[in-house]
Amino acid sequence: MAAPVLLSPPDVGQVEEEYLLRALRSGWVAPVGPDLDAFEREVAERLGVAGAVAVASGTAALHLILLTAGARPGTAVVVPTLTFAATANAVAYTGAQPVFVDCEAGSGNLDPAVLEDLLRRLRAEGTPVAAVVAVDINGRCADHERLRAICAAAGTPLLEDAAQALGSTRDGRPAGSFGLAAALSFNGNKVMTTSGGGMVVSDDPALLARCRHLSTQAREPVAHYEHREVGYNYRLSNLLAALGRAQLTRLDEMINRRRLLRERYAKLFADVPGTRILGEPDAESNCWLTTLVVDDGVTGWTAAELGAHLARHDIETRPMWKPMHQQPVYRDSPALLTGAADRLFGSCVTLPSGSALGPAQVEHVMATVAEFVEAAR
Ligand SMILES: *Cc1c(COP(=O)(O)O)cnc(C)c1O
């Protein structure tokens, strides 16, 4: 039997092997070394930002930028309810209160109008808001121009969770360059991977220096191990940075493959009334994941039924993330909701989207999806 088709498996090969082996043989087998420095430079250059700090995960990157923005007990941080839990968890690490805000139905990204309303309410009740975190869902950039104007008017820093969006742009401007600072992720399922890893990117040298300091146990620059505050051991390994550098040389090629997959799905569902692809149209997305939104009142079938059909053919799919306001752990957190995230949660299926899928796997997926659609007509 053929190997199962995974949603978004890592895409690694010869180039990665060479970079990793060279780093291993260089002796820099530690969270410090030339590949780490070069990886930071190369990503910062690609995004057109002043600098970067490579860390052990996207979650660690989020934690650090939230700390630098002043998130702490007694403050609130606004986070979209439709996101992966890491966005909210990083807020919880700081002791700040996550406050959830609903999304736009079309893109799944944070809804600027609802945010504006929420910030007004928080100000009226005297709650200090340390930051707003915008997430670029499935690689589509949030409406950062509007979000920035709203945050600027409220005097609140805007941070970008660009964990899913490396390589995307909006109006030509790269994801990760919009907020005061952004977090990237190089987890195994993202557009490019270091197996596990992340990065803080920013135009603010002082913010970057602060993140670097906190990521290395807040050790003061003196010989005798002086510490004035509690730091973290968050640095990325030099070996993994080498893996990241290899992936970076292939990033555009890998994104193109994800885009081609998205185009295949779009074509397949173009004449299926009641279906649409989340976040489309968007020619600037890295197409990290392709999520199908199904209006079952029109189609006569549900997103979950399509997922179950694909599972029977060894093809992995996923539902949309369960919104944070529905999570037991965040049940008591405040939220301003329109119902958009709840509706998406109930009507989405995310289809295999990885750049590592081989031609035979792609044809198998498309044929199996087409078979389901035809049978349901
Ligand atoms: C993947 C992801 C993260 C976390 O990144 P890790 O590297 O897995 O810690 C954070 N936010 C979003 C939106 C993500 O998709």
From the alpha carbon of 62, which atom of ligand 1 is closest?
A: 10
User: Hey, do 14-249 and 251-376 end up sharing a CATH topology, with the first three levels equal?
Assistant: no
- Least Cα distance to 291 among 211, 347, 363 occurs for 347
C-alpha 290/C-alpha 135 separation (Å) is 16
From the alpha carbon of 59, which atom of ligand 1 is closest?
A: 9
C-alpha of residue 272 to centroid of ligand 1, in Å: 32
C-alpha of residue 271 to centroid of ligand 1, in Å: 34
State pTM to two decimals: 0.97
What residue ranges line ligand 1, CB within 6 angstroms?
Answer: 57-59, 83-84, 86-87, 135, 161, 163-164, 185, 187, 198
Candidate from 87, 189, 200 with most ligand 1 atoms within 8 A of CB, to mutate: 87
Q: What string of DSSP letters covers 153-192?
A: HHT--EEEE-TT-TT-EETTEETTSSSSEEEEE--TTSSS
For residue 243, what is the enclosing H or E element?
helix 238-269
C-alpha 92/C-alpha 99 separation (Å) is 11
From the alpha carbon of 61, which atom of ligand 1 is closest?
A: 9
C-alpha of residue 12 to centroid of ligand 1, in Å: 20
- Least Cα distance to 367 among 263, 265, 271 occurs for 265
C-alpha of residue 289 to centroid of ligand 1, in Å: 13
From the alpha carbon of 83, which atom of ligand 1 is closest?
A: 13
C-alpha of residue 281 to centroid of ligand 1, in Å: 24
Name the token pair of 44: 């910062």
The CATH architecture assigned to 251-376 reads: Alpha-Beta Complex (3.90)
C-alpha of residue 82 to centroid of ligand 1, in Å: 13
Which numeric CATH code is attached to 14-249? 3.40.640.10
Candidate from 140, 161, 240 with most ligand 1 atoms within 8 A of CB, to mutate: 161
Candidate from 63, 84, 133 with most ligand 1 atoms within 8 A of CB, to mutate: 84
- Phi, psi angles (nearest 5°) of residue 159: -110, 150
C-alpha 256/C-alpha 259 separation (Å) is 5
- Delimit the domains of the chain by residue range: 14-249, 251-376
Name the token pair of 296: 């079952």
> Mind listing the pLDDT tens digit of every residue in the chain (377 residues)?
578 999 999 999 999 999 999 999 999 999 999 999 999 999 999 999 999 999 999 999 999 999 999 999 999 999 999 999 999 999 999 999 999 999 999 999 999 999 999 999 999 999 999 999 999 999 999 999 999 999 999 999 999 999 999 999 999 999 999 999 999 999 999 999 999 999 999 999 999 999 999 999 999 999 999 999 999 999 999 999 999 999 999 999 999 999 999 999 999 999 999 999 999 999 999 999 999 999 999 999 999 999 999 999 999 999 999 999 999 999 999 999 999 999 999 999 999 999 999 999 999 999 999 999 999 98
Name the token pair of 307: 């997922």
How high is the pLDDT of residue 377?
85
How high is the pLDDT of residue 1?
56
